[in-house]
Amino acid sequence: MSAPPGGAGLARQRMVKSGNFATRSAGAGGMQLVPSWSSDAAAPATISSNKLVVAGAMVGATVRATVEVSDGNPGRLSCRLMVDGVQVAAAEQPTTSSSTPVSLSATVNLTAGALVHLEAYSITLSSFQERTIKATTTFLEVAPV
Contact in structure between 60 and 109 (CB atoms under 8 Å): yes
- Contact of 2 with 131, CB cutoff 8 Å: no
pLDDT digits (tens, 9 = 90+) for 110-139: 999 999 999 998 886 655 567 788 887 899
* pTM metric for this prediction: 0.88
Q: Indicate the domain borders of the chain.
A: 13-143
> How, if at all, do strands 51-53 and 46-48 pair?
antiparallel
Non-local (6+) Cβ contacts of 97 within 8 A are: none
Phi, psi angles (nearest 5°) of residue 18: -120, 110
CA angle 14, 26, 116 (to 5 degrees): 20
Q: What is the DSSP letter of 39?
A: E
pLDDT in tens, 77-112: 899 999 999 999 999 987 766 678 899 999 999 999
Is residue 47 within a helix (H) or strand (E), and if so which, with residue range? Answer: strand 46-48
The class (CATH top level) of 13-143 is: mainly beta
